[in-house]
A and B are shown apart, each in its own frame.
Chain A
Amino acid sequence: MISKILTDTAQTRSAKNPETKKSGDPVTQELKPAAINSFSAAEKDKTKVKIKLSEDKAHKILEICASYNNDPGELINVLHETQGEFGYLPAEVQEVVAQGLGVSTAQVYGVVTFYSYFTMIPKGRFPISICTGTACYVRGAEKVLEEFKRELNIGVGETTEDGKFSINCLRCVGACGLAPVVLVGEKVYGRVSPESVKTILANYEEK
């Protein structure tokens, strides 16, 4: 349990009652209800969700929560900073944020899915950003976007299976003179046409 690394109330209790971990109280120990034996492992698996996360990561998240006083009202800021740290917000990260701030995981997920800024999918090694600001839009950014989607077979906010490319949209990068503009990582491509999409992608062919 995550609570093991949180100095939370569970530990307080076991410190006060060192017997906590003993199984059951003496009355039931001598006479075991038949029920115990029939509780199958399958049943347990059905209800238990296991999530794997490295200790470093968990610590980092809890540190971020603590820097906001573990205040549930700071959920958005905590998520913002956590995403800054990891690049995206996978389920297990959301679990730990929920525990750190004492809110339900469903609520964290609600916020993550409400704001388009947050993402649960890691960006590709070469994140492609297509500007759909007004200038780019009127100069055909839409068609360029469609071409990227078709070429890579992914949608906006998605990442290719090999983790190489991801697509998202931007609102005006301040290079309207070059419209339509596409960024791949830090590199800026101007006056992109649907026909030049293939050429751009070819630059990232790995040898």
Chain B
Amino acid sequence: METIKLTIDNKIVEVEKGTTVLNAAKQIGIDIPTLCHFELCDMGIENKPGGCRVCVVEIDGRRNLAPSCATEATEGMVVQTHSIRVMNARRTITKLIISDHPFDCLVCAKSGSCELQALATKFGIREIPYQGEKSTYRKDTSPSIIRDVDKCIMCRRCEMMCNEVQTVGALSAVNRGFKAVVAPAFEMDLEKSPCTYCGQCVSVCPTGALTEVDHTISVIRALSDKTKTVVVQTAPAVRAALGEEFGLEPGTSVTGKMVSALRRLGFKYVFDTDFAADLTIMEEGTELLQRLKKHLSGDSDVKLPILTSCCPGWVNFFEHNFPDLLDVPSTAKSPQQMFGAIAKSYFAEKIGVKREDMVVVSVMPCLAKKYECQRDEFKVNGNPDVDFSLSTRELAAFIKQANIDFMDLPDEDFDNPMGESTGAGVIFGNTGGVIEAACRTAYELHTGKKLEKVEFEVLRGMDGIRSATIDFDGLPLNIGIAHGLANARKLLDDVRAGISKYHAIEIMACPGGCIGGGGQPFHHGHSEILKKRAEALYAEDAGKPIRKSHENPFIIQLYDEYLDRPCGHRSHELLHTAYFDKSQEVVIE
């Protein structure tokens, strides 16, 4: 490794050649403010358009201030990061940015976590001397995401996420100068674009230009309606991140506190999406084995690989981009929707509540789930299986609003019958977790033997595409894993070309899987936060007495009392779905 030495604020620092001044300063604890720059280290995700110029520094021998995020450190360089000249420039730049920004902080969804607001506070900005025309653009509300581009500062982080990390290409910078905005093609609404609602753009937007559609008010309304029985489910990844919103170290699992908080908020039944994750494994695992068996017996009608289908962002992606492969993914619904379907049938019958009188709320790390629960095929006579979906961030805000002292809460357990889950259900939140859980069950069902070691370490990790061959007692099963939709696209292209070597592929739309979902607390580019969340889920799995989905006593009971068998008649009605071609169509006449 070639290194160079430079002086930053009178301190000498030695860094790897090619390091930016910004990162060199970071290495010795000097914090240079930034706005447009964004980096998710270890994942190769970086946005440095050098456009905002908030990060400028003074470099000896250069007449102009230089943007530190886009300037490479060189041997002998002498840098001042907080000289009077630099601080004045930063303040002026920030004022100029704010001069074309609405003063909406009082009612802005991003207030408190907005990076522009933080800069204004940090630089002590009290008035904006530049009075000019402000851009006005229509607000665009989709089922998951609100675009309010008047608050856009053109950092283009969202574009980087959508185009490079996700290869969706829903957003691009359009127009020029004062009229420039980030928008879908032809400035149509996001709902008409190929957007997957993965929410990755929202999770990196520094301002309130991209935010989630907030369902909290609807939930509060349901909770205050005496005629409704309000049931809540919480996704695996939520417990690994919710604590961050209350100042806890990343990777602190807060399952018990989360359950008591939900009870205090007034939910009648606090259940676990992990239960539905176990159910997903029963259905998806069985489907995998059925397809595998037919395939092995030479039935050429049966297609492999089978793809997991529990990520609605991913489902949207293949409906838009791979409409010719709609028969490849598993037909199993996502755990959120399986939960809703069972809650409003089996459970509603059990407690004698009419479907219309039950409200199912989900707490998800995900923005795509907000769209998913509104899909027509998940409604019965117009009544959705899942009524509202809150993000992890919204739940945290709701808890704070209710003045619940989160840290002081006792650990409580989920209710039954839909609160019991195994370790397999817990790891659904991590990339590789779904397929690991499926392997635990499919192995035992296929071989009839007991799995001695339930951890499949080969399936874990953070590489964008991973593959492993699992020995199913003499049958080598090729497994592929991808997270981030650019990686998924690569595996899908192979399937399309007929050269995929895999039997089963797990895909998660978000980098890291749901722990890095678009509805999670903002990680501000710290990838170690994602790793700690992943570890928290693996630790929770390791601490569970039961770690295989098919051994969950309440799952067994559900099949006994209601569903009969996996992939049986009733399962198909309640737990499976179909996919639709949503590709843009150019009609040739």
- Give A contacts to B, CB under 8 Å: 1-2, 4-5, 9-10, 12-14, 16-17, 19-20, 22-28, 31-36, 38-40, 43-44, 46-55, 58, 91-92, 94-96, 98-99, 103-110, 113-114, 116
Contacts and interface: CB of A to CB of B under 8 A. Distances in A.
Nearest to B192: A49
Contacts of A46: 191-192
Interface stretch (B239-247, B286-294, B420-428): B286-294
Contacts of A104: 163, 168-170, 172, 185, 194
Given A13-B496, A106-B171, A33 B301 contact: no
B588 interface: yes
Contact of A28 (B168, B174, B331): B331
Contacts, number: 176
A27 B496 contact: no
A109 B171 CA distance: 10
Contacts of A103: 169
A207 B192 CA distance: 44
Interface string B563-587: 0000101001110111011111111
B469 interface: no
A35 B377 contact: yes
B573 to A, nearest CB: 5
B493 interface: yes
Nearest to B382: A38
Given A55-B589, A110-B174, A12 B497 contact: yes
A109 B588 contact: no
Contact of A105 (B327, B377, B584): B584
A5 B587 CA distance: 11
Contact of A25 (B163, B291, B587): B291
A27 B172 contact: no
A40 B496 contact: no
Contacts of B194: 104
B546 interface: no
Given A20-B324, A114-B175, A114-B176, A4 B576 contact: no
Contact of A40 (B325, B376, B567, B586): B376
Given A52-B587, A106-B171, A114-B176, 20 more contacts: A1-B323, A9-B497, A10-B496, A12-B497, A24-B327, A25-B327, A26-B294, A26-B302, A27-B290, A27-B291, A31-B576, A38-B379, A43-B375, A46-B192, A92-B586, A95-B584, A104-B168, A104-B169, A106-B184, A109-B185
A179 B589 CA distance: 47
B183 interface: yes
A38 B496 CA distance: 29
A133 B376 CA distance: 58
Interface residues of B, number: 63
Nearest to A90: B186
Interface string B178-215: 00000111111001111000000000000000000000
Given A35-B577, A40-B376, A104-B163, A58 B586 contact: yes
User: Which 3 pairs across A and B sit closest by C-beta, in order of nearness?
Assistant: A104-B169, A35-B377, A106-B172
Pick the most buried of A53, A91, A106: most chain B CB atoms within 10 A of its CB: A106
Interface of B: 163, 168-176, 183-188, 191-194, 287, 290-291, 294, 299-303, 323-325, 327, 331, 375-380, 493, 495-498, 567, 569, 572-574, 576-578, 580-589
A96 to B, nearest CB: 6
Nearest to B493: A9
A23 B327 contact: yes
B185 A106 contact: yes
Given A28-B576, A33-B331, A4 B169 contact: no
B572 A96 contact: no
Contacts of A108: 185
B587 A27 contact: no
B287 to A, nearest CB: 6
Contacts of A47: 191-192, 582
B586 A1 contact: yes
A39 B495 CA distance: 27
Contacts of B587: 50-53
Contacts of B580: 39, 44
A107 B572 contact: no
A43 B371 CA distance: 13
A39 B377 contact: yes
A9 B588 contact: no
A106 B170 contact: yes
A180 B176 CA distance: 28
A108 B173 CA distance: 10
B152 to A, nearest CB: 14
